[in-house]
Amino acid sequence: MKMLLFLALALHSCVASPASHVLERTDITAAVNLALQAYLTTVTDPVALKPHIEYKIDAPLIADVLLTMDGATLGGVKGIKAENCLLTGTDSQDIELNLRATELTLAMPAYTMNGSVVDHIPLHGKGQAGIEIEDLVASLVGKGTATLSPFSVQFTEIALDLELFRWTVDFQDLAPGTDLGTVFNQFFSMCGPEIFDLLEIRLNEGDGLLNFINGIFKP
């Protein structure tokens, strides 16, 4: 959810002047980066996430497990940059933001995992864990209206798309008492894009994302 907050705050600069129908892509990207970097100076890196997180991974033929995380932090957020952003239109505006993080680190001082993988292999673990995420791009695309004085943005439709190059998973004490911990870590490392697709679907369900962004920048 921290990534969603960064996406919302980056919109602070995505507004067209009254006489402008289309802002140049390079101009809007520079404006987003300026607002984003100003915000990130106020952020402590790594960012502390919720004290307790439960996440159900239900991916057919991959995993059906419940993952809990306590005291998790996300590092590398100060390196987030905007690229190829676009704002067009006057009354009803098309807004497109692309935020790239070259490297993020999710650290879990305490995790538990229970369930199965590949439909039938039991899996459980408990201990410390870390995930290295490489080249993550979060795209936020929507329609709405934006005003400058005072600034506000109201989306009528919005969607989030997540893409990553690779992630490397390291869950300690996974499948304890066996030699399968390394194998399972390699397996989950290969399934990063599929698991991110599940996260993307959940974030786009209902009006939660739209209401979250509109609530921050309501008129």
Q: Per-domain residue ranges for the chain?
A: 2-216
pLDDT tens digit at each of 219 positions of the chain: 444 444 434 433 333 333 334 445 557 777 777 777 777 888 899 999 999 999 998 888 888 999 999 999 999 999 988 898 777 776 667 878 788 999 999 999 999 999 999 878 899 999 999 999 999 998 888 887 765 444 456 778 988 898 989 999 999 999 898 888 899 999 999 988 888 888 888 888 888 777 866 664 565
| Sheet strands (E) in the chain | 47-48, 52-59, 63-70, 73-75, 81-82, 86-88, 93-117, 121-148, 151-171
CA 45 to chain CA centroid, nearest Å:
16
Using DSSP's 3-state secondary structure scheme, residue 14 falls into coil
Q: How far apart, in whole angstroms, are the C-alpha atoms of residue 170 and residue 178?
A: 16
Gap between the Cα atoms of 67 and 131, Å rounded? 13
> What's the start-to-end Cα distance of the chain, in Å?
23
Q: Under CATH, to which class is 2-216 assigned?
A: alpha beta
Place of tokens 């990534």: 3
